[in-house]
Copies of this chain bind each other. A is one copy, B any other.
């Protein structure tokens, strides 16, 4: 079950850095390599940074680019790191056009660099779901797996919740 997995990096809180001079956040390089080393992860993985953006500022063109990269990707197991604010929207659009791959989107509420990040937990989760679930687009947060059609971010609590229909 452990075939090669593609990880696409798009930014989000997950990879934010704190600029101690200005007190603001910014992006530099992804911390995925050190995260996987910390997790002693031995899966055959290929990491590619597509962009480094705050998901609230993600443009339509950028979202299209993510979708096209997933479409043309040879591996059929893909994990995407993404800002949590518009993660559901990207997942929905992906689900509309890709049906023959397993794609899991995840992110973090706390930057990995802060040392007490949920990102390490979430990547353990996303990488496991992508290996064990059948084709489809999923969202992995809070230890749970969601169908993008039935989930929303509760912005007050900072967690993802299933929409009861």
Which residues of A are at the interface with B, using a C-beta cutoff of 8 A?
1-2, 13, 18, 20-21, 23, 25, 35-36, 38-43, 109-110, 113-118, 120-129, 131-133, 140-145, 155-160, 162
Contact = CB atoms under 8 A, between A and B. Distances in A.
B145 A42 contact: no
Contacts of A158: 20-21, 40
Contacts of A155: 21
Given A38-B116, A124-B122, A129-B132, A110 B143 contact: no
A107 to B, nearest CB: 11
A42 B144 contact: yes
A23 B13 contact: yes
Nearest to A131: B145
B18 A110 contact: yes
A128 B113 CA distance: 24
A123 B128 CA distance: 10
Given A110-B20, A159-B42, A115 B118 contact: no
Given A113-B116, A114-B114, A121-B123, 15 more contacts: A1-B145, A2-B144, A13-B23, A21-B155, A21-B158, A39-B142, A40-B141, A40-B158, A42-B160, A43-B142, A113-B114, A121-B121, A124-B125, A132-B132, A132-B133
